[in-house]
Structure 1
Amino acid sequence: MWIRSCTMPEPWQGMAAQPPLYHQGNDPATDGHDPAGPSPQNPDHQAKIFPLPRMPHFPSSPLFPLVMPDGNAILRATMGRITLYILRQLVTGTVLVTVGLLCILWLTQSLRFIDLIVNEGASVGTFLSLTGLLLPNFLIFVLPISLFGVVLFSYNKLNTDRELVVMRAAGLSPLGLARPALLLAGVLSLTGWFLTLYAVPESVRAFREMQWTVRNDVGRLLIREGAFNTVMPGVTVYVRSRLASGVLQGLLVQDSRKPEQTVTLMAERGALLAGEHGPRVLMVNGNRQEVTTGTGQMSLLYFDSYTLDLKTSGGGEKSDRFRDARERPLSELLTIHSGSDASVSENDIHRFRVEAHQRIANPLSAVSLTLIALAFLLTGSFDRRGSGKRLLFAVGALVLVEILMIGSGNMAVKSLMLIPLIYLSVLLPGGLALLVLVRPQVLRYLLRRK
């Protein structure tokens, strides 16, 4: 390429102090060479000269950024596009992984309630509603782990494709590259607080009440004619026939709920009734035989009318049912004491307090686990052999954090003085990971020691 000086063109005078440069024509079709230029066949031909304009010098003014953006504005725009590019991948991956894990958990846990359809006579709609109430409780555990796995996969893919190398060369720091993942982690933490403080207690309470209704609703008791029906543990009912009016003919009931005695009842007819404390069997014209297990003594009683309660261990009215820690709101978990509720023991008080603090601390695990994944992938130099070691260290850190979270909760139940460990098990690993992101030489030093 030939470069020569020439006189400044008239349009640029007064705008720049230096003359523009001229160079040989750079036509893309001729790769920067004039087809009629100097060549072995025509060495004396003069090349065409085209002006290369120089960027004019604009005077400083408040409107200058609108005319010519500075380097910081360009960098901010670049970071915004990179953030959206990475965030789009993270959101898509997190949604897909979360939905997949929820389907697996729902399928495995719903198998426990198949007996509601087989033995209790519940409908498919009731079964789906009952198992669907378990989903908010699953989300608490699935969301942080899903985000952790997606962050590892996405950033490792960016590193393998050399995209992280280009982004670092553009001037982005590890914290700048971590921004999209931290934004998504913050959103998931807010979602986790909504789940733990409101959605999960309400869904668990509705689940327990629906389960109680299904197990104690007379209309759902499945009584087959001419067969022995186990309506509940320890109670077997035989019915010869069932009329259209609901009257049962030829009743035989064996009640062995008390281990020390077995009761057998026979009646000409009867009916299933709904009682205040669960379903009951009303029998007419029959007898009651009771055998004591220890002595073998039998007593016989003839009756004109007899009522047998089919109250289960979870029976009673809904208001009398004991609510566990997951059903109670946060305010009740923090303020309840043994004097306010006689059914609550001191051990229950400890479990309630620990449950309350876990609801506050556990949603922060999304940010903590994300920082751990980023600390292992965004620090250090590029390795052509891959990031297998870093991925293994990150998964090991995940397992360690989960063990610390579970262990701290179990220890705090025994002594409320250890409740601060619940917060330390979540915040301390995330704080160390943030330190590594700010000071990458810390991780390089630790890996070198390994």
Structure 2
Amino acid sequence: MSLLDRYLAREILLPFLAGLVFLTQILLATQILAQADVLLGAGVSALDLFRVAADLVPHFLGYVLPIAFLLGAVVGVGRLAEDRELVAVSAAGLSPARLARVPLVLGLAVAALALWLGLGLEPAGLRAARLRVNDLIRKNVTSDVRAGVFYEDLPGVTLYAESTRGGRWQHVLISDRTDPAAPLLALSEGGRLEPAGEGDDLRLVLDRGEVHREELRAEEYVAARYQRATITLGIGAALSDRNRLVGSPFELGPGEIAARARAARDPGEARRWWAFLHRRIAGPLAIVVFGLLAVPIAGSRRGGRAFGYAATLVAVVAYYAVLRLGEGLAQRGVLTVWLGPNLPNVVLALAGAAALLLMERRGAGAVR
């Protein structure tokens, strides 16, 4: 790598990393605020919040890496254009298009990183984040039970504890109406909530008490005493309503997406899954395309940094607009399932190549 290449790479990497950190922080803060009732609840510690944020980082990087790279490349090359260094390079006989080699090489490296994150770490991270948020909801339920106050936030369940300490309750009353045909009333000296296996349910553990159950259909009434009893509270729907991460298709790895596409009985549904799989691959490839666009945008700008920022925004908006169009055409069968998600990559790559060719023909006059 020549001295010029190393110099340009340094000029690109610094704003790229700064933009990467800044944009990722914004997305994390937005996600945390969107679920503030869960992530900032009474039962959540700083370590819990950090773990959820760390699990979400690979998912957010899939959105941030292309934008941050284009912004970094435009700012880096643009800084050389503002100081007339590109003019000096052109006057020395080096084509302005020659500078595209550095953003392209860096783009390939960043795209490989993004592909690894998107197909490997992102699904695992989202699954872990969803399970952690479910656990935090359970923790908040336990922490929200106050001594001497009826707790009715669990669907079909009313809970009362005379005293609470460290997640354990004394002198507990439970009214379970989840089965309207067989309402249950339980009294116990102590109790606590704990996860019921790896699912979305909670198990209520009661110590030394009695239970009363009325079978309305059989017109029977049952009462019994116990030393220890457990009641599974089916609150999966309640967790799903409060957890925004539930149902995200980005939890699926490439093999799982392909399996769903093969198992789909409707051809339209199969095309949607195949198009989604190719979208997961096309996203990282956009970084290389943005690397191709960086030099024409930065080298021809006349409005200073404002032009570079505006052009970056326009390129990103255009990319996602064409992406939506391509996905829709692929799902309807107009385009092949691989071409639809890659349509913005093809369009912007052709635009970048044409702009570089124009700069090549204009020579030193291409740089303003």
TM-score strictly above 0.5: yes
Aligned to 1:136: 58
Aligned to 2:242: none
Q: Is the 8 A contact 2:44 2:140 kept in 1?
A: no
Q: What are the residue-to-residue correspondences of 1:322-341 with 2, within 5 Å? A: 324-336=248-260, 339=263
3-state SS of the aligned residue for 2:163?
strand
Q: Which runs of 5+ in 1 are unaligned?
A: 1-78, 292-298, 317-321, 445-450
TM-score for both structures, normalised by structure 1:
0.64
Q: Match of 2:340, as an amino acid?
A: L
Q: Is the 8 A contact 2:150 2:158 kept in 1?
A: yes
Q: Which runs of 5+ in 2 are unaligned?
A: 240-245, 364-368
| Cα distance in 1, alignment partners of residues 75 and 133 from structure 2 | 40
Aligned to 1:404: 322
Q: Kindly tell me the number of residue pairs found equivalent between the two proteins.
A: 347
Aligned to 1:428: 347
Aligned to 1:188: 110
Tell me, yes or no, if structure 1 residue 99 matches structure 2 residue 21: yes
Aligned to 1:53: none
Q: Which is higher, the Rg of structure 1 or of structure 2?
A: 1
Aligned to 1:304: 224
Aligned to 1:356: 277
Following superposition, the deviation at residue 405 of structure 1 comes to 1.6
Following superposition, the deviation at residue 190 of structure 1 comes to 1.0
Following superposition, the deviation at residue 232 of structure 1 comes to 3.5
| Cα distance in 2, alignment partners of residues 346 and 231 from structure 1 | 42
Q: Is the 8 A contact 1:196 1:359 kept in 2?
A: yes
Following superposition, the deviation at residue 263 of structure 1 comes to 5.8
| Cα distance in 2, alignment partners of residues 286 and 104 from structure 1 | 51
Q: Is the 8 A contact 2:170 2:189 kept in 1?
A: yes
Following superposition, the deviation at residue 200 of structure 1 comes to 0.8
| Cα distance in 1, alignment partners of residues 234 and 20 from structure 2 | 40
Distance 1:345 1:136, change over 3 A: farther
Kindly indicate whether structure 1 or structure 2 has the higher relative contact order, using CA contacts under 8 Å at least 6 residues apart: 2
Distance 1:386 1:142, change over 3 A: closer
Q: Match of 1:304, as an amino acid?
A: A
Q: Match of 1:182, as an amino acid?
A: L
Aligned to 2:9: 87
RMSD over aligned Cα atoms: 4.1
Q: Is the 8 A contact 1:263 1:288 kept in 2?
A: yes
Higher mean displacement: 136-145 or 307-316: 307-316
TM-score for both structures, normalised by structure 2:
0.77
3-state SS of the aligned residue for 1:199?
helix
Q: Is the 8 A contact 1:117 1:124 kept in 2?
A: no
Distance 1:324 1:149, change over 3 A: closer
Following superposition, the deviation at residue 418 of structure 1 comes to 4.7
Deviations along 1:242-275, one digit per CA (max 9) or x if unpaired, are: 48994631414465x68x8996846354523654
Q: Match of 2:249, as an amino acid?
A: A
Higher mean displacement: 209-218 or 233-242: 209-218
3-state SS of the aligned residue for 1:224?
coil
| Cα distance in 2, alignment partners of residues 288 and 131 from structure 1 | 44
Q: Is the 8 A contact 2:89 2:96 kept in 1?
A: no
Q: Is the 8 A contact 1:376 1:390 kept in 2?
A: yes
Which residue of 176, 190, 194 corresponds with 2:98? 176
From the two aligned structures, give the one with the greater helix fraction. Answer: 2
Deviations along 1:78-120, one digit per CA (max 9) or x if unpaired, are: x822221111111111111111111222122123444346657
| Cα distance in 1, alignment partners of residues 333 and 148 from structure 2 | 57
Q: Is the 8 A contact 1:272 1:279 kept in 2?
A: no
Q: What are the residue-to-residue correspondences of 1:21-420 with 2, within 5 Å? A: 80-116=2-38, 119=41, 121-215=43-137, 222-230=144-152, 232-233=154-155, 235-242=157-164, 246=168, 248-253=170-175, 255=177, 265=185, 267-269=187-189, 271-272=191-192, 274=194, 275-276=196-197, 278-281=201-204, 284-287=209-212, 301=221, 303-304=223-224, 308-313=231-236, 324-336=248-260, 339=263, 349-379=270-300, 392-393=310-311, 395-413=313-331, 415=333, 418-419=336-337, 420=339
Deviations along 1:140-171, one digit per CA (max 9) or x if unpaired, are: 11111112112222322322221111111011
Percent identity among equivalent residues?
Answer: 23
Q: Match of 1:326, as an amino acid?
A: F
Distance 1:97 1:130, change over 3 A: same
Following superposition, the deviation at residue 139 of structure 1 comes to 0.8
Higher mean displacement: 358-367 or 101-110: 101-110
Q: Match of 2:345, as an amino acid?
A: V
Deviations along 1:403-428, one digit per CA (max 9) or x if unpaired, are: 11234335544558552211122222
| Cα distance in 2, alignment partners of residues 337 and 82 from structure 1 | 48
Deviations along 1:202-249, one digit per CA (max 9) or x if unpaired, are: 211222233344445799565321123355355442211248994631
Deviations along 1:263-301, one digit per CA (max 9) or x if unpaired, are: 68463545236545632335633546899xxxxxxx995
Q: Is the 8 A contact 1:212 1:315 kept in 2?
A: no
